[in-house]
Structure 1
Amino acid sequence: MSSFTAEHTPAEIVKVFPKASDLFKERRIDFCCGGDRPLGTVFTEKNLDEAIVLSELNTAFDSWSKEDHEIIDWDQVPLSELVDHIVYNHHAYLNEELPALGQFVTKIFRVHGAKHPHLKELYRLYNDFKVDMEEHMIKEEGEVFPLIKEFEKNPSEKLAHHIHEANGGLEDEHESQGDILKRMRVITNDFEPPADACNSYRITYARLAELESDTFQHVHLENNVLFKRIK
């Protein structure tokens, strides 16, 4: 791909140029749940300057393309390997990080909530996200992913239909989880701690930003690659 245009979707771009996700996050451009709409539509909705964003995107892509990268074409990776990658990387990360980060979110709410009232909303949002994601991963690993692995061995229209039925609510859940992350970014001023923030406060915000980044990549792989390959 020589250059990106307003006709490309964020999801298509991130498949080819993973680092584009950083630029999209800065501009609050959704590349996972709502990532299948042309950039031109997004620019209009968000009142973004098309020429500036495309220039920045293509300049970054040009520089990145000249470096030595291992590019994985997830559309060609066997379904079982893609599922395992999601489970052993993204699910494993969440299973370890969600309880640990929850302790930090609780701590800064308890210590600083009176002075910084947005921490109460952050506490509630985080715990909603944690419960939703834990239930979501259990459903994927217990129901949907085994069906996808079976489909890889014995593909059939009936099994594909069964997977899409089982997957019915997953994409809606992804959108809901994405909305929570977006709201957390807004109320934390893009995860920028206040000038007087203590170390725990700063660690919490840094880990929330990392959680957002990993989750958006995770959801992108599921919505825009894995689920779309079941036909």
Structure 2
Amino acid sequence: MTQTFTSDTHVSDIVKQCPQAADIFKRNRIDFCCGGNRPLSEATDKSKRSTEEILEEVNALYERKQVMNETSIDWDAASSSELIEHIIFKHHQFLTDELPHLTPYVTKVFRVHGRNHPHLGRVHQLFNQLKMELEQHIVKEEAEDFPMLLRHEAGPTAETSREVDEMLASLEFEHAGAGDLLKELRQVTNDFTPPEGACGTYRLVYQRLEALESDTFEHIHLENNILFPRARTLV
């Protein structure tokens, strides 16, 4: 494994490049916010784990994120099963990992700063609504919708075509709803721009919300614009 970060890398710099590393730091009692401007070797003084162990976990996480961000594949030329596997591995897994981990940070920022920044109440509300809808959406896609698409592709009939058309319309409606929530999140956060003097956690939340938006829009693009039109051309 290529070592991206070293024990001399500042904690704040690690979180800037890999926001999800904040979850590792929080779990190991490493201050990445106010005390983030120091090397990892010093920041692990209150952790029960060694610097080397934490560094290995952080580098492994960053490497996984880099692999998941590969975009060189021509998905128009890939099979539907390959595309579905990619959607599940990259985008569904991203949501499964990120949504529960991001939740306490969104709540903390609202609780600490909500009085002086009232828009954070709306951010908290929008995020939790989005979280609920996306979690339900990906479970249903994996359990019901994707298997139906593959069965239809393997043996399309007039009946499966009608069923798939109804299913795709429902999924596209859900995608539009998620897109609207993300667009409002961007609007109320001023394009995910934290206010002057915002603390590290505040900035982290905005950074991760923007990453959530980017991944979700890519996810929706692959389904709406590549996977679903294929199914509609059958029978």
Q: Which amino acid is 1:182 matched to?
A: K
Does the aligned pair in 2 maintain the 1:125–1:184 contact within 8 Å?
yes
Q: Which runs of 5+ in 1 are unaligned?
A: 1-68
1:154 equivalent in alignment to 2:155: yes
Q: Deviations over 1:145-197 (max 9, x none)?
A: 00112223223343232222223311111111101101000111111111110
Q: Which amino acid is 1:84 matched to?
A: E
Q: Which amino acid is 2:156 matched to?
A: P
Partner residue, 2:79: 78
Q: Which amino acid is 1:104 matched to?
A: Y
Partner residue, 2:131: 130
For CA contacts below 8 A with separation 6 or more, give which structure has more relative contact order: 1
The aligned runs of 1:48-59 (5 Å cut-off) are none
Report the Cα distance in structure 1 between the residues aligned to 2:114 and 2:176, rounded to whole angstroms.
28
The alignment's C-alpha RMSD in Å is: 1.5
Deviation larger for 136-145 or 154-163? 154-163
CA shift for structure 1 position 76: 1.8
Instruction: Using structure 1 for the length normalisation, give the TM-score.
Output: 0.68
Give SS of 1:142's match. Answer: helix
Does the aligned pair in 2 maintain the 1:151–1:160 contact within 8 Å?
yes
Does the aligned pair in 2 maintain the 1:174–1:219 contact within 8 Å?
yes
Q: Deviations over 1:9-55 (max 9, x none)?
A: xxxxxxxxxxxxxxxxxxxxxxxxxxxxxxxxxxxxxxxxxxxxxxx
CA shift for structure 1 position 70: 6.8
Instruction: Using structure 2 for the length normalisation, give the TM-score.
Output: 0.66
Does the aligned pair in 2 maintain the 1:143–1:166 contact within 8 Å?
no
Give SS of 1:168's match. Answer: helix
Q: Percent identity?
A: 48
Q: Which amino acid is 2:195 matched to?
A: P
User: How many residue pairs get matched?
Assistant: 163
CA shift for structure 1 position 102: 1.0
Residues 70 and 165 of structure 1: CA distance in aligned 2, closer, same or farther (over 3 Å) = closer
Partner residue, 1:141: 142
Report the Cα distance in structure 2 between the residues aligned to 1:221 and 1:146, rounded to whole angstroms.
17
Report the Cα distance in structure 1 between the residues aligned to 2:71 and 2:144, rounded to whole angstroms.
32
Report the Cα distance in structure 2 between the residues aligned to 1:146 and 1:79, rounded to whole angstroms.
11
Give SS of 2:195's match. Answer: coil
Q: Which has the larger radius of gyration?
A: 2
Q: Which runs of 5+ in 2 are unaligned?
A: 1-69
Q: Which amino acid is 2:128 matched to?
A: N
